[in-house]
Amino acid sequence: MNIQAGKEENELMKFMFGLLLGLGLGVAIGLIIAPQSGEETRTILNEQGQGILLRSGALSDQLRSRANEAIEQGRDRYVRTKNELTDRYSNARSGDL
């Protein structure tokens, strides 16, 4: 994964998180000003809050998984590059260019 793709993916995840947060807040505000009894509104808000928590937990797990994958890819690329440069250096020192 190159740096540009990682930045784009990060921006997309930020956008999706903001979208979900905005949606949740919009629903909550709509329910607060809805013509329902306080008890009904609190029940609905509680249910909506639980749903938002579940979705945000899933999103957090997905972000963590992608971050771990990116870290692992970075480590692999580092090791390959280091080994390649070490081999080239050794060949150059021994005159086996």
Cα 74 from Cα 70, distance rounded (Å): 6
Q: What is the pLDDT of residues 38-83, one digit of tens each?
A: 788 788 888 888 888 888 888 888 888 888 999 999 999 999 999 9
* Residue 57, domain member (yes or no): yes
Give long-range contacts, CB 8 A cutoff, 24+ apart: 22-26: 24/48, 24/52
Q: pTM for the complete prediction?
A: 0.46
Question: Which residues constitute the domain of residue 46?
Answer: 40-97
* Residue 24, domain member (yes or no): no
63: enclosing H helix or E strand = helix 38-94
* Residue 34, domain member (yes or no): no
Q: Taking a C-beta distance cutoff of 8 angstroms, is the pair 24, 48 a contact? A: yes
**What does the block give as tokens for 89?**
């250096």
Cα 91 from Cα 26, distance rounded (Å): 64
* Residue 44, domain member (yes or no): yes
Looking at the 3D structure of the chain, how many domains does it have?
1
